[in-house]
Structure 1
């Protein structure tokens, strides 16, 4: 059994989770994570919406050193990819990437939402966080 880093970031079932964002009922702007007010029009009529599970890589880098506290990830640090993934018609999300080799990434490549280990609870329970992986031919 595993748990998620923050249950409020997600919606759906364990085999079909999605990121949970907000959409402004006044101007249709999307945000992630959810919030009560619209950053575009300052309206207060935000609706919860599941975000797209597929997008395209907008920008990326590789985190080559352990982040400072309050980072609570794995004690065995390994470099990991970080990127912005554009979810079509919605929002650009900052996320971990499953690929850490810059040669395996390119701007505009199709990406799909997935789950990766983040850390372990004291009792050994794995804690997962969201990430985006390069989409395979089979997933298209």
Structure 2
């Protein structure tokens, strides 16, 4: 990375700690259901009428539930490198929470290197650079 300041591309969705990042979710105080992103006004569990939540750091690891490639340039406000190159996206079932989180796979890893059930961990990588800073986001990195 450059000498520019490093900032989260989406504030409040993940911890900015590049060594052990976590997605920031919410857990319903009434039933224990986990959510991501964390902004909620009521529990979406049909068996619960909870309205209070505790902010929690979600698991950093999980297993690939499904994956695909993105062969199209995302529309604004998303930012893609030029020239655009397809990238892999993985739906990952978090180890503890048993919930599925969709995210981009680290740069340089395509769908040919992925398989359902493969273990991955959460990492932070640059998404884009502007005049003042390098914006980082979460991605999934295959293990092993």
TM-score by length of 2: 0.84
Find runs of 4+ consecutive structure 1 residues off by over 4 angstroms.
none
Q: Gapped runs of 5+ residues in structure 1?
A: none
Report if the CA contact (8 A) 2:8-2:16 is conserved: no
Report if the CA contact (8 A) 1:9-1:20 is conserved: yes
- Per-residue CA deviations over 1:24-53 (Å, capped at 9, x if unaligned) read 111111011102321113421111010000
Q: Does 1:57 align with 2:64?
A: yes
Q: Distance in 2 between matches of 1:100 and 1:16?
A: 20
TM-score by length of 1: 0.87
CA RMSD of aligned residues (A): 1.7
Q: Does 1:117 align with 2:126?
A: yes
Where does residue 26 of structure 1 map in the other structure? 30
Q: Distance in 2 between matches of 1:92 and 1:129?
A: 18
Report if the CA contact (8 A) 1:35-1:46 is conserved: no
Task: Flag the structure with higher helix content.
Answer: 1
